[in-house]
């Protein structure tokens, strides 16, 4: 029954996907005798590729987990039942997910990442990518006379990212009453470019919802008891790894 409806929710054919599901809550049917479930689907070719790598290395692959699940475990405080949108900005892509009651409710990837911003700065300022990377981290989206060109180069790429976030935010808001009645409380940024100067403020003002930079250590330890041996901006790139360890 699930497989018959799979193509309504994922961008690939059911025959091209490997999927699994879990019941939401205690597994009891709703008033109209239906079940709420969370479905995770991944392209068969990708799974086969991982399976082959592990097999050649002499390991028996028991299961695979999408990175969005690990990111959620890292960024959402354990026991928090509110709904959040997580935006993990990697080097080449950005993972967008809506998490409610600690479950992934909606997930997608877009081909825009930190390197997209770096390339835009490099092209606009006519500098190499190494220097553009430094400009990105040092100046970010802070508009001023000195940083004017870099700001608009960054803005052109970030605007595309913002539009993708808005599209999914609006989609969830339309579905939220039917899904579980919960609207997104805030957007949480992580990943290597999640701490880009001015990004959270820009998205906050553009979308009209609170946007925060993540704390990947929220379920590891209190800063009152332990200070991780790395800068916060660096730890944002380890959200997936931290979540895997939890």
C-alpha of 80 from chain center: 18
**Residue carrying structure tokens 């479950």:** 103
What would the pLDDT profile of 50-79 be if each residue is shown by its tens digit? 999 999 999 998 988 889 999 999 999 999
Q: What is the pTM of this model?
A: 0.88
Determine the Cα–Cα distance for residues 95 and 138; give it in Å rounded to an integer: 24
CB 194 within 8 A of CB 215: no
CA distance readout (Å), 96 to 36, 156, 159, 238? 22, 19, 15, 16
Residue range 92-143, pLDDT digits in tens: 999 999 998 888 988 999 999 999 999 999 999 899 999 999 989 888 887 7
């Amino acid at each position: 029954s699930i497989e018959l409806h799979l193509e309504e929710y994922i961008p690939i054919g059911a025959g091209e996907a490997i999927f699994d599901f879990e019941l939401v809550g205690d597994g009891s049917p709703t008033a109209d005798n239906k079940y709420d479930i969370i479905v995770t689907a991944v392209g068969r070719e990708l799974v086969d590729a991982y399976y082959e790598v592990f097999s050649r290395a002499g390991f028996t692959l028991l299961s695979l987990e999408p990175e969005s699940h690990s990111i959620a475990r890292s960024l959402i405080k354990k026991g928090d039942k509110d709904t959040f949108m997580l935006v993990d900005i990697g080097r080449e892509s950005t993972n967008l997910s809506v998490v409610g009651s600690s479950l992934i409710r909606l997930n997608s990837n877009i081909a825009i990442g930190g390197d997209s911003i770096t390339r835009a700065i490099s092209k606009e300022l006519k500098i190499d990518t190494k220097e553009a990377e430094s400009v990105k981290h040092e100046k970010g989206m802070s508009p001023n006379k000195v940083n004017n060109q870099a700001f608009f180069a960054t803005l052109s790429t970030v605007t595309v990212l913002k539009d993708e976030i808005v599209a999914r935010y609006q989609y969830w808001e339309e579905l939220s009453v039917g899904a579980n009645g919960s609207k997104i409380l805030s957007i949480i940024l992580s990943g290597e470019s999640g701490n880009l100067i001015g990004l959270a403020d820009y998205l906050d003002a553009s979308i009209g919802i609170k946007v925060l930079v993540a704390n990947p250590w929220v379920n590891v330890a209190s800063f009152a008891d332990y200070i991780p041996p790395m800068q916060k901006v660096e730890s944002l790139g380890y959200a997936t790894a931290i979540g895997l360890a939890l």
